[in-house]
Structure 1
Amino acid sequence: MNVSLWIAAGVLAVVALVGGISKTFVPKQKLGEAPGGEWTAHAGAGFIKTLGVLELLAAVGLILPAVLDIAPVLVPVTAACWVLLMVGAMIIHFRDGGFKFVVLNLAYLAVAVFVAWGRFGPQSFS
């Protein structure tokens, strides 16, 4: 189970890193042209960049606290925050008709729930 939780956290960290880099460093117009980027038409550039920074922090928070053994409780806390972020993403994509992205966000949400449950419960770091 521990290996499964590490893999799940790693997958989420990669997803967060890729999303965070794109939202932080790619211009809003170019994001809007990408598949699933329609939602950026309704959002300000500052909001998009803020989401990007939060995703970068999530990528760090899902891995480094456990690897460095510095406040490893941040791993499940980050996973729980990722759940909230995915709920918001699902709402936005549903509003814009991006149903396949709703399903993708639901999958990420399920993985984050697994990590939060596993690290708060049976395979906690403490």
Structure 2
Amino acid sequence: MDLTLWIAAGLLAAVALTGGISKTFVPREKLAAVPGGQWTEDAGPAFVKTLGILEIMAAAGLILPAALDIAPILVPVTALCWVLLMVGAMITHGRRGEAGFVVLNTVYLALAAFIAWGRLVPAPFTG
């Protein structure tokens, strides 16, 4: 179970880091031109960059606390925060009629919920 949770956290961290870097460093106009990024047309640049920074922090929060054994409880807390972020993403894409991205966000949400549950119940990081 522990290995499965590490793999899930690694995959989700990669998704978060990729999304975070693009939202933080790619101009909003370029994001709006790619599939799934059209929502940025309706959002301010500061909001988009803030989401990007939060996603970068989520990538770190899914891996570093456990890897460094510093406050490993932050891993499931980060995963729960990711669940909330994905609810917002699902609402945003749903309102725009982007069903494929709603499904993708649902997969990310389920992965984050699995990590949160797994690290809180069957395989917590305890010393």
| Residues 58-117 of structure 1 deviation map (CA, whole Å, 9 limit, x = unaligned) | 000000000000000000000000000000000000111111000000000000000000
Structure-2 residue corresponding to 1:10: 10
> In the alignment, which residue of structure 2 is the partner of 1:58?
58
Letter in 2 for 1:89: A
> What is the DSSP-based 3-state SS (H/G/I as helix, E as strand, rest coil) of the residue aligned with 1:124?
coil
**TM-score, normalising length from structure 1?**
0.99
- CA positional deviation for 1:38: 1.1
Structure 2 match to 1:82 = 82
Measure the CA separation in 1 of the matches of 2:44 and 2:95.
Answer: 17
For 1:19-73, what per-residue CA distance to the aligned partner results, in whole angstroms no more than 9, with x for missing partners? 0000000000000000011111110000000000000000000000000000000
Q: How does 1:26-105 map to 2 (within 5 A)?
A: 26-105=26-105
Instruction: Give the total of aligned pairs.
Output: 126
Letter of the aligned partner of 1:107 in structure 2? V
Alpha-carbon distance in structure 2 between the residues aligned to 1:112 and 1:35: 23
Q: C-alpha separation between the residues in 1 aligned to 2:46 and 2:4?
A: 36
Gaps of 5+ in 1: none
**RMSD between superposed Cα atoms in Å:** 0.4
- The separation in 1 between residues aligned to 2:48 and 2:96, in whole angstroms, is 16
Once superposed, which parts of structure 1, at least 4 consecutive aligned residues long, lie more than 4 Å away? none
What's the offset of the Cα at 1:14?
0.1
Unaligned runs of 5+ in 2: none
